[in-house]
Amino acid sequence: MPVKALAFAALVAAPPAVQAQDAPKPRVLLISDIGNEPDDSESFVRFLLYANEFDVEGIVAATSTHQRNRVRPDLFQERIAAYGRVLPNLRRHASGYPDAARLQSLVRSGVSRYGMDGVGPGKDSAASRLIVAAVDRADDRPVWIPTWGGAADLAQALWTVRETRSAEDLATFVSRLRVYSISDQDDAGPWIRRTFPQIFWIASVHGWNQYDMAAWTGISRDVMLPDKWPAAETVTNGWLAAHIRKGPLGSLYPPHQFIMEGDTPSFLSLIPNGLNNPERPDHGGWGGRYVRSDLAAGHYGDAVDTFTAADGTRYASNQATIFRWRDAFQRDFAARVQWSITAKVEDANHAPNLVVNAQAGQRPLTIAGRSGDRILLDAAGSSDPDGNVLAYRWWHYAEPSGGFRPPTIALHGSASAKADFIIPKVDAPTDIHVILEVTDNGVPALTRYRRVIVAARP
């Protein structure tokens, strides 16, 4: 059977790894009804520990159905001040962390009205103006807007642009937005999607207030259920007290009242880990997997993943698109907290660097092939900055691999640095997603990924 040429000289000559051009940092403007319950404050602590991975454009305190006539920017400011105290430690472990003063300067109060009551003539706010300014900035990157509460300030920004600009300029403005809203928590989000149907918008859409149906609850809803999902202990208040509530910033992570960090999935898929691909919600990642609900519009709704956990239990649900990764992203969070209280690099753990077929970096590796071709995959060039031992796992991510019945593959060497498989018979062009998952043996153990997309043809 033919061996793909891209497999490749790397297997024969073992050339040095080439750094692939990774995606630039995402621009992020956060909207939150912080103060209505503890989980927004929890999510913001995590957000700050990953602030080096984003270009933060704004931090907006907003209303929602749960907090209709007040906003709490002080809760952001308190946590940013604590972030400033641990910033010297964080910068020893990773570059790119912004100054605390800059983050403080980006905090804005949104309108203190509920939903569409805060939208219309004369209702521009400091927050809505910040949104317009960020989107208008001369930058080719879109603006990601994780929306943890109501969307009134975003609705006002769009209302103002619609009223003051040409249809063409409005379309350009809308095209630069990427929204992930934690369901709908006021009437502004549905208004935006009806009025601007082309807007890129990820949201679980369900009956009003029926949050148990939403994908984002996959982060921790099982704390309220008798049947637990994998890594259930990592979202309990006991585990969080032991691993997260440490130091000046971690100590401001409150115990949860309902579920833990319900808002966090909105930015988990923006973290560069080799798995996430923000512009392709249908590919799946730490923040879940979402597919277009209308091929002529921009809304992405919940999808279902099916997988078998280490104990043999089989799961299939929209929440599974998140909790299947929970063990990894909770360990990663615990490591970031440890960075915040550890001055010596050698006293903390850091994620491995993966190389596949001599290609380093985070972007997916694409290989073209035809039915019957053998695809060779080689991650032997991967390394760990702390010298830890690496455990390899290659697996087929079936759901994003396309089609009502995606093809199945037989991976050989799935637990080693090198693996291979034969492209099965396909009747039409089909993308086959293979995930390399590598975990080190540090404490806490950290996982990174590379996604290989095999563009299979008949």
Share of the chain above pLDDT 70, in %: 95
Give the domain-ending residue among 277, 311, 326: 326
SS3 string, 379-447, reads CCCCECCCCCCEEEEEEEECHHHCCCCCCCCCCECCCCCEEEEECCCCCCCEEEEEEEEEEECCCCCCE
In the three-class reduction of DSSP (H, G, I as helix; E, B as strand; rest coil), residue 62 is classed as: coil
Same-domain status, 169 and 286: yes
Whether the link from the prior residue into 26 is cis, omega within 30° of 0, is: no
Q: What is the mean pLDDT of the chain?
A: 95
**Residue 15: pLDDT above 90?**
no
Residue 171, C-beta contacts closer than 8 angstroms, at least 6 positions apart: 198
Residue 340 belongs to a domain: no
Q: How confident is the model at residue 241 (pLDDT cuts 50, 70, 90)?
A: very high
- pLDDT value at residue 238: 96
Give the model confidence (pLDDT) of 35-90 as tens digits: 999 999 999 999 999 999 999 999 999 999 999 999 999 999 999 999 999 999 99
Same-domain status, 40 and 76: yes
Same-domain status, 94 and 178: yes
Q: How confident is the model at residue 2 (pLDDT cuts 50, 70, 90)?
A: very low
**Residue 406: pLDDT above 90?**
no
289 in Cβ contact with 305 (< 8 Å): yes
CATH number of the domain bearing residue 393: 2.60.40.10
In angstroms, the CA 57 to CA 448 distance is 27
**Residue 125: pLDDT above 90?**
yes
- Show the DSSP H helices in 94-183 as ranges: 100-105, 126-136, 152-164, 167-175
Same-domain status, 140 and 269: yes
291 in Cβ contact with 283 (< 8 Å): no
The closest of 180, 189, 137, 251 to 30, measured between CA atoms, is 180
Same-domain status, 262 and 387: no
Residue 339 belongs to a domain: no
**Structure letter (DSSP) for residue 112:** S
CATH number of the domain bearing residue 50: 3.90.245.10
The neighbour count for residue 224, using CB atoms within 10 Å, is 10
In angstroms, the CA 157 to CA 180 distance is 16
Residue 346 belongs to a domain: no
Same-domain status, 298 and 389: no
**Residue 402: pLDDT above 90?**
no
In angstroms, the CA 308 to CA 218 distance is 16
Residue 347 belongs to a domain: no
Same-domain status, 128 and 228: yes
157 in Cβ contact with 132 (< 8 Å): yes
| Residue of higher predicted confidence among 105 and 16 | 105
- pLDDT value at residue 20: 53
The closest of 83, 59, 192 to 134, measured between CA atoms, is 59
Please give the tally of structural domains in the chain: 2
Domain region containing 104: 27-326
User: What is the total residue count of the chain?
Assistant: 458
Q: Which two three-digit tokens encode residue 40?
A: 């927004």
Same-domain status, 152 and 191: yes
Bridge-based pairing of strands 143-147 and 27-32 is parallel
Same-domain status, 196 and 106: yes
**Residue 3: pLDDT above 90?**
no
* Integer-rounded Cα radius of gyration of the chain: 22
- pLDDT (average), residues 320-345: 99
Same-domain status, 219 and 133: yes
**Residue 5: pLDDT above 80?**
no
Same-domain status, 402 and 293: no
- pLDDT value at residue 183: 97
Residue 345 belongs to a domain: no
**Residue 404: pLDDT above 80?**
no
Q: How confident is the model at residue 21 (pLDDT cuts 50, 70, 90)?
A: low
Residue 143 belongs to a domain: yes
Give the domain-ending residue among 292, 326, 360: 326
353 in Cβ contact with 360 (< 8 Å): yes
- pLDDT (average), residues 351-370: 97
Give the model confidence (pLDDT) of 169-187 as tens digits: 999 999 999 999 999 999 9
- pLDDT value at residue 393: 99
163 in Cβ contact with 120 (< 8 Å): no
Residue 333 belongs to a domain: no
Same-domain status, 60 and 83: yes
